[in-house]
């Protein structure tokens, strides 16, 4: 499904060049749950951003469902992110002036659904993650855990091929983290492909496989 | 860019951003747009209205809606009595004022002049013979009498003076017209027309602006002017026709021309009859008004640009997230265009409400009294709509550009807040 070959990502800061990813080779199959771990600065999030087409690698290949990422135009990447990917960010990344249901409905409207149809679908997705009672609340009126569940709901409402999650429990308390991870577990059981960056061993063990990065390289792969 | 989906998503976002924005901020932006509208429309309208006030003075005080004057080759209107009789049979005129108009001289202070070598206190004058009652119905002339009284039909050897003849009220010397000294109601002056001199009493002095056609005229009962002119017939120099409200002046002019009056006299509408240059002055004032309004438009455009830019830059992270989850940059830009459109449309709508609901009717009923005219606000709807279009277009551009600048930034940099 996703295949990465010799992926290199460098950042330039004046004359200084910092290479964060140093020739990564990685793949994830349909329905697989992969956890990416590593120390801070190891390149976990950077790898996630390259695979999820939010950033351009310096060199290397990314192939998604058989398509070469570097051959895609910006517009094609946008369409790919809209229809094939779902994102869960560490800080929830909800739009503050949209209610929970509107946040979830927006990408669905972008896919061509009517507002009513999109909000109906969004409602189902929100009920699925247990925030069906907070549909019309703004993000500022929700707890961190509720916001993250809305974020998960937005990521899965359109049934993406791959769900990317960047430290989804980093800002949550224990109880909220468990609830979010239970949702991930259920999604995975239902066949959802998930690629998740995390610091937490306990949650990483939910995955089929843990890929450990250090200094821009994959240093270990553990399968369960 | 303008795909249906982009427009729908843009509208969806804009509607919610406006609805949940700070009311103070929204009110302030709308207020700026309202001031821009008023600056663009009212300033121009008032400048044009100053000249329109002058033109309107000519219509009310001199020409009426249609003016009949002598042909260029004649001193008087041929068949005047027949023309007047014909006009009285028509349903359109409200008031018809026939006048004699001639030039002469007027002299004051001749009793106190002891030295014959001393220059006499005299000046050239335009003397108008009127029927006092008809003329009062026509131009409401008695309303302008500041000192003394208005003429009556039975008056003999009395005149009304325009302010330009009285040094206390004059607006300064004009070519061929020197203000007279020590003139009051009851003062005796000498009037000379065609070599015939008569001593008359100043019955009243008018108070009108400098550009009024009444300012430099002397009014006398029509029969006396005819005597002084030495005329034995009833051929007048000008016939001013005030039409009933709603009557088309052009159509009435054409009617008179078709009836054959055009062969005996010059028939002109008010617009054709006003002095040369007034229309040009009106155009000039309109251009000045537009120039001033344009500056206001630029200021409003910059204001909207700054407001949208600050809004977009503080929301850069969220713009990045929107792009990240697959919302197109065009849809995001359209959302800002819709917001700008909202500010411009609400500001302009409020401005139009104030303009046509209050300012125009109020100033029409109570013209602004200026030294040169009784100014009104001239704001024809078609011109106003063009200005509204201009405000909306400018605002859309001012809203689009900053949003485009922010949307074009790298998606991940925006999400992570990197520069």
Taking residues B212-219, what's their average pLDDT? 90
List, in order, residues 6 or more apart from A97 with CB less than 8 Å away. Answer: A138, B16, B17, B19, B20, B21
Amino acid A33: pLDDT: 95
Q: What whole-number distance in Å separates Cα of residue B214 and Cα of residue B163?
A: 8
Taking residues B390-415, what's their average pLDDT? 87
More confident residue, B64 or B112: B64
Amino acid B297: pLDDT: 77
Residue B375, pLDDT > 70, answer: yes
Amino acid B395: pLDDT: 85
A-B Cβ pairs (cutoff 8 Å, strict): 68
Task: Identify which of B209, B225, B55 has the alpha carbon closest to the alpha carbon of residue B144.
Answer: B209
Give the pLDDT confidence of B266-284 residue by residue, as tens digits. 999 988 877 667 777 777 8
Which three-class secondary structure state does DSSP give residue A195?
strand
Give the pLDDT confidence of B328-373 residue by residue, as tens digits. 999 999 999 999 899 999 999 999 999 999 999 999 889 888 877 7
Burial class (CB within 10 angstroms; exposed 0-12, middle 13-18, buried 19+) of B276: exposed
Q: Give the β-pairing of B374-375 and B368-369.
A: antiparallel
Domain boundaries, chain A: 2-223
Choose among A54, A115, A138: nearest Cβ to B324. Answer: A54
Amino acid B105: pLDDT: 93
Q: What is the pLDDT along chain A (224 residues), one digit of tens a residue?
A: 899 999 999 998 888 899 999 999 999 999 999 999 999 989 999 999 999 999 989 999 999 888 888 888 888 999 889 999 999 998 888 999 999 999 999 999 999 999 999 999 999 999 988 888 999 999 999 999 999 999 999 998 988 999 999 999 988 889 889 988 999 999 999 999 999 999 999 999 999 999 999 999 999 888 87
What are the structure tokens assigned to A191, written together?
A: 């066949």
Choose among B8, B21, B318: nearest Cβ to A95. Answer: B318
Residue B114, pLDDT > 80, answer: no
- Range with the lowest mean pLDDT among B210-224, B281-295, B399-413? B281-295
A76 Cα to chain B: minimum distance (Å): 10
Q: What whole-number distance in Å separates Cα of residue A168 and Cα of residue A164?
A: 10
Task: Identify which of B152, B171, B154, B159 has the alpha carbon closest to the alpha carbon of residue B127.
Answer: B159
Amino acid B276: pLDDT: 67
Q: Give the β-pairing of B217-221 and B368-369.
A: unpaired
Which three-class secondary structure state does DSSP give residue B208?
coil
Helical axes B23-58 vs B329-354, angle rounded to 10°: 50
Work out the number of other CB atoms within 10 angstroms of the CB of residue A195.
Answer: 25
Amino acid B381: pLDDT: 92
Residues paired with residue A35 on neighbouring β-strands, in sequence order: A196, A210
Amino acid B1: pLDDT: 60
B33 Cα to chain A: minimum distance (Å): 24
Q: What whole-number distance in Å separates Cα of residue A126 and Cα of residue B37?
A: 46
CA-angle at B286, arms to B207 and B389, nearest 5°: 135
Distance between first and last Cα of chain A: 20
B325 Cα to chain A: minimum distance (Å): 6
Task: Identify which of B127, B129, B108 has the alpha carbon closest to the alpha carbon of residue B119.
Answer: B108
Q: Which of residues 260-279 of B touch A (CB under 8 A)?
A: none
Chain A residues touching B9 at Cβ < 8 A: 106, 109-110
Choose among A49, A102, A107: nearest Cβ to B325. Answer: A107
Chain A residues touching B329 at Cβ < 8 A: 78
Residue B296, pLDDT > 90, answer: no
Burial class (CB within 10 angstroms; exposed 0-12, middle 13-18, buried 19+) of B51: buried
Task: Identify which of A152, A155, A190, A189 has the alpha carbon closest to the alpha carbon of residue B325.
Answer: A155
Probe site for chain A from B325, B411, B414 (most A CB atoms < 10 A): B325
Give the pLDDT confidence of B160-210 residue by residue, as tens digits. 999 999 988 887 777 778 889 889 999 999 999 988 899 999 999 999 887
What are the start-end ranges of the E strands in B256-386?
265-269, 368-369, 374-375
Nearest chain A residue to B10, by CA: A110
Does A93 sit within 8 Å of B331, measured CB to CB?
no
Q: What whole-number distance in Å separates Cα of residue B244 and Cα of residue B238?
A: 19
Distance between first and last Cα of chain B: 27
Does A83 sit within 8 Å of B411, measured CB to CB?
no
A136 Cα to chain B: minimum distance (Å): 13
Amino acid B192: pLDDT: 93
Amino acid B170: pLDDT: 83
Helical axes B316-324 vs B329-354, angle rounded to 10°: 130
List, in order, residues 6 or more apart from B114 with CB less than 8 Å away. Answer: none
Amino acid A181: pLDDT: 92
Burial class (CB within 10 angstroms; exposed 0-12, middle 13-18, buried 19+) of B342: buried
What are the structure tokens assigned to B213, written together?
A: 């056609």
CATH 3.40.50.300 is right for the domain spanning A2-223: yes
| Helical segments of B100-157, H only | 132-139
Q: What is the DSSP letter of B59?
A: I
Amino acid A120: pLDDT: 95
Residue B84, pLDDT > 90, answer: yes
Does A98 sit within 8 Å of B324, measured CB to CB?
no
B328 Cα to chain A: minimum distance (Å): 7
Phi, psi of B192 (to 5 degrees): -125, 125
Q: Is B9 on the interface with A (CB under 8 A)?
A: yes
Mean pLDDT of chain B: 88
């Amino acid at each position: 499904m996703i295949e990465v070959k010799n992926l290199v990502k460098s950042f330039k800061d004046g004359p200084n060049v910092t290479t964060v990813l140093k020739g990564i080779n990685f793949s994830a199959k349909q329905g697989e749950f992969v956890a990416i771990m590593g120390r801070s600065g190891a390149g976990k999030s950077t790898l996630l951003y390259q695979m999820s087409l939010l950033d351009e690698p310096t060199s290397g290949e990314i192939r998604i469902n058989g398509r070469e990422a570097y051959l895609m135009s910006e517009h094609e990447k946008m369409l790919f992110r809209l229809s094939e990917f779902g994102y869960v960010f560490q800080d929830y990344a909800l739009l503050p002036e949209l209610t929970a249901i509107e946040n979830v409905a927006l990408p669905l409207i972008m896919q061509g659904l009517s507002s009513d149809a999109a909000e109906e679908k969004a409602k189902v997705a929100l009920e699925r993650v247990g925030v069906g009672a907070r549909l019309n609340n703004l993000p500022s009126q929700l707890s961190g855990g509720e916001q993250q569940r809305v974020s998960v709901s937005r990521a899965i409402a359109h049934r993406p091929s791959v769900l990317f999650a960047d430290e989804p429990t980093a800002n949550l308390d224990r109880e909220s983290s468990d609830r979010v991870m239970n949702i991930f577990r259920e999604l995975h059981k239902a066949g959802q492909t998930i690629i998740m960056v995390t610091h937490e061993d306990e949650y990483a063990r939910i995955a089929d496989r843990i890929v450990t990065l250090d200094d821009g390289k994959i240093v270990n792969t553990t399968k369960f | 860019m303008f795909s249906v989906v982009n427009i729908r998503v843009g509208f969806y976002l804009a509607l919610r951003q406006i609805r949940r924005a700070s009311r103070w901020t929204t009110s302030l932006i709308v207020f700026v747009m309202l001031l821009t509208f008023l600056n663009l429309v009212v300033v121009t309208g008032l400048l044009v209205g100053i000249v329109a006030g002058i033109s309107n003075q000519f219509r009310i005080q001199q020409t009426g809606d249609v003016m009949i004057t002598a042909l260029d080759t004649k001193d008087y209107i041929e068949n005047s009595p027949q023309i007047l009789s014909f006009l009285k049979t028509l349903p359109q005129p409200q008031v018809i004022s026939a006048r004699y108009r001639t030039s002469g001289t007027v002299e004051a202070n001749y009793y106190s002049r002891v030295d014959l070598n001393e220059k006499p206190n005299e000046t050239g004058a335009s003397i108008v013979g009127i029927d006092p009652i008809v003329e009062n119905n026509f131009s409401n002339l008695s309303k302008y009498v500041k000192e003394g009284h208005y003429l009556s039909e039975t008056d003999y050897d009395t005149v009304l003076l325009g302010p330009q003849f009285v040094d206390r009220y004059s607006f300064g010397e004009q070519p061929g017209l020197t203000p007279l000294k020590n003139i009051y109601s009851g003062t005796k002056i000498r009037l000379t027309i065609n070599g015939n001199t008569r001593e008359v009493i100043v019955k009243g002095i008018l108070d009108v602006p400098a550009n009024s056609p009444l300012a430099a005229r002397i009014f006398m009962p029509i029969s006396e002017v005819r005597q002084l002119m030495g005329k034995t017939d009833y051929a007048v120099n000008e016939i001013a026709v005030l039409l009933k409200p709603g009557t088309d002046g052009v159509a009435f002019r054409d009617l008179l021309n078709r009836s054959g009056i055009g062969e005996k006299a010059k028939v002109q509408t008010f617009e054709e009859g006003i002095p040369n240059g007034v229309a040009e002055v009106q155009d000039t004032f309109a251009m000045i008004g537009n120039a001033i309004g344009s500056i206001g438009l630029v200021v409003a455009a910059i204001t909207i640009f700054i407001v949208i830019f600050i809004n977009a830059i503080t929301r850069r992270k969220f713009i990045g997230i929107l792009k990240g989850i697959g919302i197109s940059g065009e849809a995001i830009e359209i959302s800002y265009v819709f917001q700008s459109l909202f500010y411009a449309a609400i500001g302009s709508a409020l401005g139009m409400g104030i303009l046509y609901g209050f300012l125009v009717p109020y100033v029409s009923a109570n013209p602004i009294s200026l030294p040169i005219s009784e100014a009104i606000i001239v704001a024809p709807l078609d011109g106003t709509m063009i200005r509204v279009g201009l405000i909306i277009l400018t605002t859309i551009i001012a809203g689009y550009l900053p949003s485009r600048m922010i949307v074009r930034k790298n998606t991940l940099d925006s999400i992570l807040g990197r520069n």
